Amino acid sequence: MRAGIAGAGLIGKLVAWQLTQHGWHVSLFDPDSKARSSAAFAAAGMLSPYAEIHADTKIFSLGLQGIAAWKNLLAQFSDQSWWQQRGSIVTAHTHDQNLMRDFIAQINNKIPYSTYLHLPNKKLTEYEPELTAKQGVFLREEAVIDSRKLLNLLPNANIHQQVISVKPHQIITTHQQYKFDWVFDCRGSGGGENFSDLRSVRGELIYLAAPEVTISRPIHLLHPRYQVYIVPRKHPIYLIGASEIEANDNSPISVRTCLELLSAAYSLHRGFAEARIIETITGLRPALADNLPRIIFNKGMVAINGLYRYGFLLAPIILHTITQALFHQEYSHEADLLKWEAYRDSSVNHIGTIATTA
């Protein structure tokens, strides 16, 4: 089988990797050979279904499945250094304890059998001794992926052309028209052709080298104005993120975001004062009207978009849903939760029966 994939960001690369493993011949289109303009390259890579409790409850249940599915995929990589599951912490400063109470109330309200651990009265120091905040919640199931390491292990684009159109069986670029058995539209923020309600949500993030800081797991700081997190990579590197701005604008980070993110980081650990800013990055999260992912399945074409803040969290579920349909002609139960659209033409008898030949 011959596949053409438009977009070599997170989903495009993962689909290319899976199809290649199944013996397909894959052409991966992206003008950017190293995926540096993808949201995936900017992403912190946190798998945080609890910390994202404000989102639709589907994100929580699919997110927990996503973490389990990543653990199954791990075995297929000889280098697993991109994966870490040590839980994460949600905390708030003393004057924002109402936010902590609200956060716990939301979890209790939405998730009957949650496994979070409340850390009152300085118990937080047993987990992260260097933080200035002393109370919090430990979310033991949460994990984090070193997004750039993972992207490096997945296939790179092999056709460096801008895709103008993705239609069943065909990809048209600025250079020529290509025919395939199946095509996959994974253009993220560039995929408006097949998703009329697509919008971009700008996210800015800062990389610091901070030798005076030792934090071992992602920290989410509850704040009345913005969401801030600190994600440790290989010591002494830390990511401080991320803004959330409704704008299709990937220009460099703003002064305001720098001030907010860096002062929040400094408020959690004084050692960030002497850190060095080694990189700032802006990415565009591809989002749909309901902020949920959507898969459009047609004979000869699959289009995936709307991963928004949850691309890494949900990617293995998306992958599973697609491969179940392609290789086993099965409509997986996750498809009910994902926004899944199948066009009913002569080759798609009902939503669960999808022809795999052109």
Provide the minimum distance between the beta carbon of 301 and ligand FAD in the complex, in angstroms, as a whole number.
15
Strands 237-241 and 199-209: antiparallel
Provide the minimum distance between the beta carbon of 161 and ligand FAD in the complex, in angstroms, as a whole number.
7
Cα angle 56, 229, 262; round to 5: 140
For ligand FAD, the binding residue among 21, 162, 165, 349 (CB under 6 A) is 162
Does position 262 bind ligand FAD by CB under 6 A?
no
Neighbours of 268 (CB within 10 A): 23
Provide the minimum distance between the beta carbon of 124 and ligand FAD in the complex, in angstroms, as a whole number.
22
Does position 11 bind ligand FAD by CB under 6 A?
yes
In whole angstroms, what is the distance from residue 228 CA to residue 253 CA?
Answer: 15
Position 317: which residue type?
I
Which lies closer to ligand FAD via its Cβ, residue 8 or residue 265? 8
In whole angstroms, what is the distance from residue 338 CA to residue 73 CA?
Answer: 20
In whole angstroms, what is the distance from residue 171 CA to residue 156 CA?
Answer: 18
Among the listed ranges 9-17, 100-108, 130-138, 334-342, the one in contact with ligand FAD (CB under 6 A) is: 9-17
Provide the minimum distance between the beta carbon of 178 and ligand FAD in the complex, in angstroms, as a whole number.
12
Does position 309 bind ligand FAD by CB under 6 A?
yes
Taking a C-beta distance cutoff of 8 angstroms, is the pair 65, 304 a contact? no
Which lies closer to ligand FAD via its Cβ, residue 37 or residue 298? 37
Provide the minimum distance between the beta carbon of 247 and ligand FAD in the complex, in angstroms, as a whole number.
12
Which lies closer to ligand FAD via its Cβ, residue 93 or residue 285? 285
Position 244: which residue type?
E
For ligand FAD, the binding residue among 313, 319, 335, 342 (CB under 6 A) is 313
Which lies closer to ligand FAD via its Cβ, residue 44 or residue 268? 44
In whole angstroms, what is the distance from residue 110 CA to residue 101 CA?
Answer: 14
Which lies closer to ligand FAD via its Cβ, residue 8 or residue 135? 8
Contact letters for ligand FAD, residues 67-106 (x by CB under 6 A): ----------------------------------------
Sheet holding 117-119, edge to edge: 117-119, 136-139, 88-91, 219-221, 228-232, 237-241, 199-209, 276-287
Spell out a b/e string for 149-172, using b for 16 or more CB atoms within 10 Å of the CB, else e: bbbeebbbbebebebeebeebebe
- Rounded to the nearest angstrom, the gap between the alpha carbon of residue 140 and the centroid of all alpha carbons in its chain is 19
Q: Residues with Cβ < 8 Å from 264, sequence gap 6 or more?
A: 221, 223, 226, 228, 240
For ligand FAD, the binding residue among 308, 319, 335, 342 (CB under 6 A) is 308
Among the listed ranges 23-31, 87-95, 108-116, 256-264, the one in contact with ligand FAD (CB under 6 A) is: 23-31
Strands 339-342 and 294-298: parallel
How many helices (H) and strands (E) in the chain? 8, 20
The footprint of ligand FAD on residues 208-247 (CB under 6 A) is: 241-242
For ligand FAD, the binding residue among 4, 49, 286, 316 (CB under 6 A) is 286
For ligand FAD, the binding residue among 70, 310, 331, 340 (CB under 6 A) is 310
Does position 49 bind ligand FAD by CB under 6 A?
no
For ligand FAD, the binding residue among 19, 307, 337, 354 (CB under 6 A) is 307
DSSP for 34-85?
T-TTSHHHH---EE-TTTTTTS-HHHHHHHHHHHHHHHHHHTT-S--TTEE-
In whole angstroms, what is the distance from residue 174 CA to residue 262 CA?
Answer: 41
Does position 155 bind ligand FAD by CB under 6 A?
no
Provide the minimum distance between the beta carbon of 99 and ligand FAD in the complex, in angstroms, as a whole number.
20
Positions touching ligand FAD (CB under 6 A) are: 6-12, 29-32, 35, 37-40, 42-46, 162-163, 186-190, 203, 205, 241-242, 283, 285-286, 305, 307-313
